[in-house]
Chain A
Amino acid sequence: MGTVAVEGLRKSFGKVQALDGVTLDVPDGSFFVVLGPSGAGKTTTLRAIAGLEKLDAGSVHLDGKDATGDPPAARDLAMVFQSYALYPRLTAYENIASPLRARRCSSSEIAAAVERMSNLLHIERLLQRRPAQMSGGEMQRVALARALVRSPRAFLMDEPLTNLDLKLRVEMRTELTRIHRSLGGTFIYVTNDQVEALSMADQVAVIKEGKVQQVGTPTEVYERPANQWVAGFVGSPPISLLACRAEGDRLIGDGWTLPRPRWTTAEDGRPLMLGLRSEDLSVEQRGDASLAGELYGLEPLGDRTVVDVRVGTEIIKVKARPTVTGTPGERLHVTVDLDRAHLFDAGTGLALSEAGR
């Protein structure tokens, strides 16, 4: 068992409202990712779950029981801190052993558990070192080991991979998903990296300024962003947003027009934002849904090239084959897959009902 449910968490630090009514429901055994930009309140959310932060309002339920007032030790959780928080005077071995020591395990049990962890995270040769003698990435792995050494109700991980180099980070991502599957515990994983979130999560909660924007599977969050901000935050290159309004069976923008998508129910004249992901656009012309523009720039990324196209006064990003060429200023047409486009209310930023889709 390991369900975590928080409701209406509120916390302010002076004038800063770090948490503004955060509600999350983490199912048992899930890999739950909290995704948000810097300062969104991710760390504060984890600390609230762990019982390290005195809340202004809200409740924390663990395994269905109210744990709002419980001290951290009573909550049976493990946490990887963003700052690692490895004990500076203890060796890596003693750091990893600490949660077991606190729970009075025998030293043979401890030795076995630490060895298992050090094999799992490839830190065998670090065990006798102190934190000051380790690199950032090494400390991060020891911090992970200290959390994983026990089988708590849930693991809380605060950006545990940020300090690793890209190769190791990709490796550790796979490794962590594997560990999650083999341990079967509940993971609550905080990150500001949307690639990490999309690739690892069962469920993603996107938060911004202490408010949950959307909760869903990675596919849901990517394919059906709840609002304009989520659409812009998730996805790389970022989604292109164009101001427009519906007029009869057309969408009219600033210097461009497209057929109105069949599924939208927006009334005529309402200010809208059209969201187009780069992979739903193409510089090859086919069909009638196309935008006329001029080439603004090329970003070759190896496996693909992102073509920046100026349409009216806006720049949109189009994913193209790596072989695409062109000179800036050249006229071209961008074909739009309107079935996969997104429409948002320009005032509220909320996604328009997509019931017809």
Chain B
Amino acid sequence: MAVSVDEAVATGPARDRTPSARRLGGRGRSVLEVVLLTVLAVVMLFPVLWMIETSIKENRDVYAIPAKFFNFTVTMDHFKDVFVAPGGGRSALSAAFLNSVLVAGVSTALATVLGVPAAWAYSRFSVKAKKDQLFFILSTRFMPPVVVVIPIFLMYRQVGLIDSKLGLILIYAAFNVPFTIWMMKGFVDEVPSEYEDAAMLDGYTRLQAFWRFTLPLLLPGIAATAVFALIFSWNEFVFAIFLTSSDGVRTAPPAIAGLIGGTTVDWGLVAAASLVFALPVLIFAYLVRKHLVAGVTLGAVRR
């Protein structure tokens, strides 16, 4: 999942992708293309299919040799185990899911609230050494989390943010603000600054002009950006596993990883938990696609 998100981020606003997509659906598809695509599809989709199967197999069917592809008994017990503890009550996994929702949601909201105005400012005002500043902001994304996790661990220990949801929220927001600024600057650049100029002459202040006239035009962009930030925070594993340990704080990725290990592994539960975990990402990825294609309604300015 993490891979697919990064890919989507790299291509940015995906308007220019439509033509190639159309070409793929066209008539002139060669045999070689079909064969290669089929191979690719099987290789990519088999693990997913296998995960889905495992999540609805009974445990003895999971371990059956030779593997059972079709003739197994369907059960929903694993999904029940994801949410309900063996003795009744809420399971540790469901608590982890709630933590994930909280951490991803709040950090994304934080990054959006900070990043969108910053992007607007970078787009509209002449800032000293603007290019260098923007490059610096981007460069914070060059580093993979593993590189900085040790220093951050030490710093967090000093300030008492270790094993706290606030700590995770802050670090995710720190990673998402630069991303938001970069994505949103592109969207703000697309909105002519003359709308704000006109609004100021109408009698609004600069901030009112931004709030009333530019912001509504940015909403699709903000939604798309926020979804990317949300997916990043939702999927993040490295910081989560290093910086948190207790069940009450842990988010879903380390919690699911924690199911593996010990003497026996309940693969059915792992598969069911992973599916539940993947579902929001799939839904959001779908939403992003829609928003990016929709774009911003412009066209009242002659260029």
Contact = CB atoms under 8 A, between A and B. Distances in A.
20 contacts: A50-B201, A54-B126, A71-B200, A72-B197, A73-B201, A85-B198, A85-B300, A85-B301, A88-B195, A89-B216, A89-B297, A102-B199, A102-B202, A102-B203, A103-B203, A130-B300, A131-B299, A136-B302, A139-B300, A163-B302
Given A83-B194, A85-B192, A87-B213, A77 B201 contact: yes
A101 B199 CA distance: 11
B300 A52 contact: no
Contacts of B217: 88-89
A117 to B, nearest CB: 14
Contact of B199 (A89, A98, A139): A98
Contacts of B194: 81, 83, 85
A235 interface: no
Interface string B285-297: 0000000000001
B210 to A, nearest CB: 13
Interface string A48-92: 001110100000000000000001110001110101111111000
Interface of A: 47, 50-52, 54, 71-73, 77-79, 81, 83-89, 98-99, 101-103, 130-132, 136, 139, 146, 163
B31 interface: no
A179 to B, nearest CB: 19
A54 B198 CA distance: 16
Contacts of B192: 83, 85
A83 B200 contact: no
Contact of A84 (B201, B205, B297, B301): B301
B135 interface: no
Contacts of B299: 88, 131-132
A282 B211 CA distance: 64
B303 interface: yes
Report whether over half of chain A's contact residues are helix, strand or loop; otherwise say mixed: mixed
Nearest to B300: A131
Interface in B255-303: 297-303
B216 to A, nearest CB: 6
Given A71-B205, A81-B194, A86 B200 contact: no
B213 to A, nearest CB: 6
B157 interface: no
Given A98-B198, A163-B302, 12 more contacts: A50-B201, A52-B200, A73-B200, A83-B301, A83-B303, A85-B197, A86-B198, A86-B300, A88-B297, A88-B299, A88-B300, A98-B202
B197 A52 contact: yes
A99 B203 contact: yes
B288 to A, nearest CB: 22
Shortest 4 CB-CB contacts between residues of A and residues of B: A131-B300, A102-B203, A85-B194, A72-B200
A149 to B, nearest CB: 10
B53 to A, nearest CB: 49
Contacts of A78: 201
Nearest to A136: B302
